[in-house]
Amino acid sequence: MRTSPSGIVGLDQILHGGFPSGRTTVVIGGAGCGKTVLAMQFLVNGWTKFGEPGLLVSFEESPASLATNFAEMPFPFAEAVGTGVLLLDGRVPVNTVEAGSFDLGGLIAVITALVAERGVKRIAIDAVDALFALSGEGFQRMEFLRLLEWLTEANLTALLTVKEFEGELAIPGFFALAEYASDGVLHLRRRLIGELSRRTLSVLKMRGAGFEAGEHPYVISSDGIRALYTPSSTTAVVSGLGVRLSTGVDRLDRMLVGGYRSGTTTLISGLPGTAKTTLGAAFLDAGCRAGERCLFIGFDEPAEQMLVDVRSVGIDLEQYVRSGLLRAQSYAGGAVIADDHYLMIEALIDAHRPNRVVIDPITALEKSGGSDIAGVVAERIVALLKSRGISALFTAVTETQNGELEATPLRVSTIADTWINLSFANQGGERNRTLTIVKSRGTGHSNQMREMVLSADGIDLTDVYAAGGAVLLGTARAEREQQDAVQEAIAAVNLSHEFETLDRDREGLARRLAEAQRGLDQIAVHRAELVKRTKVAGGAQARDAAMIHVLRRGDPTE
């Protein structure tokens, strides 16, 4: 079946392409569910993205009020309404009185004329129930069916919105009517979880077309409706072993054999004040230095505050915000349901297209409707980032010192490829920061605790002294280092003495060796002379022996 895409992120995937072309879909929803926004996006996108002229018959809002409401939306409402999208003021005038039976002949005549004149392909009637407020149920059923029949004959792709009040439709019995008479039914719902509203949409029916069943969360943001749809095939994306990305801390890069792997997720857990955000900032700084696009999403404090704070450790991210390489955004954690955060994050990623993303802290999602929803949403965020090949760093606030011993919130620790825990060590009246790599998938890594030192020059990690079961940090470590330095100096002096002695001995031996060599040379010369003299004497003897042999008639020699 041919489909007409709505151009709404997520919804077209749920509808396997879009609304069935030439068919009528009924959109049911209560107040604040975004029925009008959905209808408007369907029409505006239809014209601006797919070149299909559209018509909105507005039975509730005047075109002037719609223009005011949509003027703030970034999608090209004004542009479309001026060109390919028509707005028809369908409000029933106030002093209308019934005086007998009537039908929708006027509406149908008007639409027929506009279809012929403007080539309208898409139509939205918002909200169709207003039209039926006039008369009895029998009329409503008959006229609704007539309207559907006519829309199909006209081959229009239509959306009819219908209001719902606390589960009851504005038109009694309309639910069943819409379900059997229309080609498709899309149900928008808004529910309260605590004090937060959660919006979900579900396709109840889509004749002749496939769709994703179940409830899909969606959000209405400044750029319209966005539905959360993570196809099951991409949730299982397993990242390949990516290249190494600098963590922004030299020593940490070495501990991780080069850095985090690209396309993987890193979790930095720890108590408040353990410099989790700073490590996140270092990761972004390293990315921006390498010319990568970066995104920071903060929940606990304004992003601007973070930018100022990290200046104290020599990280200047503001320059990258100005150049547009880094986008820093902050939200109030508990203001909306976690689904909405997901969709806002997805929208930000779509808009900024980052290589690196930091979410600080991911645990803020728990304030957005409880840990059950937050856990699912966190997993979806990880799946989303992996499917886009984005390297991510999440911070997580733990409530106890040994964050690593706790099951970390949101189960992110099980999904994360690398997990680093930051902590404090109290010793000798000092509180020092420590860093431990808890796990790092597919990477050899140091399992030693390191002391993390923050200064105006940046972040540094130093070895800690682990001797006799005690770990030395801060001043204790420094004292130990001082002692060691003295020991080393003494050792160095001793060594140089030994070197001098050895060198002296070597020189003496070398002298004696030279003398001996001279003696050997003299002996050799003397011996050579002796050999020469021996040969002369030997020659005379041989001649004498031959003579004797002849004289004595000896046997012939060979």
Partner 1 sequence: MHEGTLLLLFVAGDAPRTTVAVENLRRALAEFEDRKFQLEVVDVYENAGRAIADRVFVTPTLLAPGTSRRLVGDLSENSQLRYFLQSVEIH
- Of 92 and 332, nearer to partner 1 (C-beta) is 92
Residue 98 in contact with partner 1, rule: CB under 8 A: yes
Part in contact with partner 1 (CB under 8 A); list of ranges 72-80, 91-99, 338-346, 481-489 = 91-99
Beta strands in 398-440 (DSSP E): 418-427, 430-440
Report the site for partner 1 in 109-138 (rule: CB under 8 A): 109-110, 112-114, 131, 134
Distances (CA, A) of 433 to 276, 344, 450: 11, 34, 9
* Residue corresponding to tokens 């390919």: 84
Q: Cα-atom radius of gyration of the chain, to the nearest Å?
A: 42
Whole-number Å distance between alpha carbons of 465 and 551: 101
CB of 79 to partner 1, least distance (A): 22
CB of 8 to partner 1, least distance (A): 28
Tokens of 238: 């397993």
**Given 1, 37, 67, 88, the residue binding partner 1 (CB under 8 A):** 88
Whole-number Å distance between alpha carbons of 488 and 128: 89
**Given 1, 67, 108, 471, the residue binding partner 1 (CB under 8 A):** 108
Residue 92 in contact with partner 1, rule: CB under 8 A: yes
Residue 454 in contact with partner 1, rule: CB under 8 A: no
Residue 93 in contact with partner 1, rule: CB under 8 A: yes
Whole-number Å distance between alpha carbons of 230 and 15: 13
Residue 106 in contact with partner 1, rule: CB under 8 A: yes
CB of 384 to partner 1, least distance (A): 45
Residue 103 in contact with partner 1, rule: CB under 8 A: yes
Part in contact with partner 1 (CB under 8 A); list of ranges 96-104, 178-186, 243-251, 423-431 = 96-104
Q: 457 near 314, Cβ under 8 Å?
A: yes
**Given 71, 72, 82, 94, the residue binding partner 1 (CB under 8 A):** 94
**Given 105, 136, 194, 272, the residue binding partner 1 (CB under 8 A):** 105
Candidates 440, 460, 449; CA nearest to 279 is 460
- Of 135 and 235, nearer to partner 1 (C-beta) is 135
- Of 143 and 417, nearer to partner 1 (C-beta) is 143
Residue 402 in contact with partner 1, rule: CB under 8 A: no
Helix axes 137-153, 105-118, angle to 10 degrees: 20
**Given 66, 104, 123, 228, the residue binding partner 1 (CB under 8 A):** 104
Tokens of 306: 């973070």
Residue 89 in contact with partner 1, rule: CB under 8 A: yes
CB of 129 to partner 1, least distance (A): 14
Part in contact with partner 1 (CB under 8 A); list of ranges 86-94, 202-210, 338-346, 396-404 = 86-94
Beta strands in 222-338 (DSSP E): 224-227, 244-245, 260-261, 265-270, 294-298, 326-330
Candidates 220, 183, 216, 182; CA nearest to 202 is 216
What contacts 24+ positions apart, CB below 8 Å, involve 192-199? 193/337, 193/369, 193/370, 193/373, 194/369, 194/370, 196/334, 196/335, 196/336, 196/337, 196/368, 196/369, 197/32, 197/337, 198/337, 198/339, 198/369, 198/373, 199/33, 199/34, 199/337, 199/339, 199/340
CB of 59 to partner 1, least distance (A): 8
Residue 95 in contact with partner 1, rule: CB under 8 A: yes
- Of 147 and 461, nearer to partner 1 (C-beta) is 147
CB of 122 to partner 1, least distance (A): 18
Rounded (5°) CA angle 226-230-231: 130
Total interface residues for partner 1 by CB under 8 A: 29
Part in contact with partner 1 (CB under 8 A); list of ranges 104-112, 295-303, 438-446, 511-519 = 104-112
Q: 424 near 431, Cβ under 8 Å?
A: yes
- Of 94 and 550, nearer to partner 1 (C-beta) is 94
Beta strands in 178-321 (DSSP E): 184-193, 196-206, 216-221, 224-227, 244-245, 260-261, 265-270, 294-298
**Given 18, 90, 333, 354, the residue binding partner 1 (CB under 8 A):** 90
Candidates 298, 356, 331, 348; CA nearest to 9 is 348
Beta-carbon contacts of residue 85 (< 8 Å; ≥ 6 apart):
43, 44, 46, 47, 53, 54, 55, 56
Residue 99 in contact with partner 1, rule: CB under 8 A: yes
Residue 145 in contact with partner 1, rule: CB under 8 A: no
CB of 107 to partner 1, least distance (A): 4
Residue 91 in contact with partner 1, rule: CB under 8 A: yes
Q: 57 near 88, Cβ under 8 Å?
A: yes
- Of 116 and 509, nearer to partner 1 (C-beta) is 116
Tokens of 324: 């547009």
Burial tier of 352 (Cβ tally within 10 Å: 0-12, 13-18, 19+) = middle
Whole-number Å distance between alpha carbons of 106 and 112: 10
Burial tier of 114 (Cβ tally within 10 Å: 0-12, 13-18, 19+) = middle
**Given 31, 71, 97, 238, the residue binding partner 1 (CB under 8 A):** 97
CB of 118 to partner 1, least distance (A): 12
- Of 12 and 129, nearer to partner 1 (C-beta) is 129
Part in contact with partner 1 (CB under 8 A); list of ranges 89-97, 428-436, 442-450, 538-546 = 89-97
User: E strand or H helix at 29, and its extent?
Assistant: strand 24-29
- Of 99 and 548, nearer to partner 1 (C-beta) is 99
CA dihedral in degrees (96, 101, 103, 109; nearest 10)? -70
Residue 521 in contact with partner 1, rule: CB under 8 A: no
**Given 31, 51, 82, 100, the residue binding partner 1 (CB under 8 A):** 100
- Of 73 and 110, nearer to partner 1 (C-beta) is 110
- Of 91 and 506, nearer to partner 1 (C-beta) is 91
Binding site for partner 1 (CB under 8 A): 57, 88-110, 112-114, 131, 134
